[in-house]
Homo-oligomer: A and B are copies of this chain.
Amino acid sequence: MRQLFHGELARLGGRLAGMCGLAAESMRLASRALLAVDLQLAERVLSDDAELDRSRSNCEAHAHTLLALQAPVANDLRTILVAVYCADKIERMGDLAAHIAATVRFNHPAPVVPPELECVFTELGEIAAGMADRIGEMIVTRGTDGFAELDRTDQAVDTLHARIMAMVTEPDWPYGTRSATSLALLSRFYERFADQAVSVARRLDFAATGRLPT
């Protein structure tokens, strides 16, 4: 019975890790769509988002069933509650990737990112997708110091975000306010994506140790 239950927990972890893979993929495609001004790719990110929404529903239903049928306590209860929390945050990561794609679609065929910001957005996209991959790995390996690692990565994201904000708010910004506001919001989508990944890592540490790192 106990072994069966732990098999179910592992299956729930597998679902969550799968969600991380989807979020990472959405972020990669959305960033590529943004930089290549690729409408078809943007549309794909937008339509793929429904899969992540379904996965989150399935995770929740699975967790709910485990709670109702097994009435777990201590570590097991914590693990299931953390899974519900993480599913919500990973779904949100997908939403943020979809927001990037929607910005591409809204502005198409005009590019949103001017040449001097292409490198920064490329880097943001790679770091953000890498964070989603990383929390997927952490779910599987059940590490205990993911928060410290992702928090460091998040600081790099914050620095890039600040750099973009400084550039678009300079008085001599040459591309107009529509471009500036689009870029400010885009940059915030990346920053929030990274924030969600950090909050997932924090809860994974909590699941493993019973202490919420600060």
Interface residues of A (CB under 8 A from B): 64, 67-68, 71, 73-74, 77-78, 81, 84-85, 88, 165, 168-171, 173, 176-178, 180-182, 184-185, 188
Consensus secondary structure, chain A interface = helix
Specify which of B68, B78, B88 is in contact with A88 (CB 8 Å cutoff): B88
Q: Which residues of B lie under 8 Å from residue A184 when comparing CB positions?
A: 181, 184-185
Distance (whole angstroms) from the CB of A125 to the closest CB of chain B: 20
A-B contacts, 13 listed (Cβ < 8 Å): A67-B81, A68-B73, A68-B74, A68-B77, A71-B71, A85-B88, A168-B181, A169-B177, A169-B178, A169-B182, A173-B177, A177-B177, A185-B188
CA distance A187 to B170 in the complex (A): 21
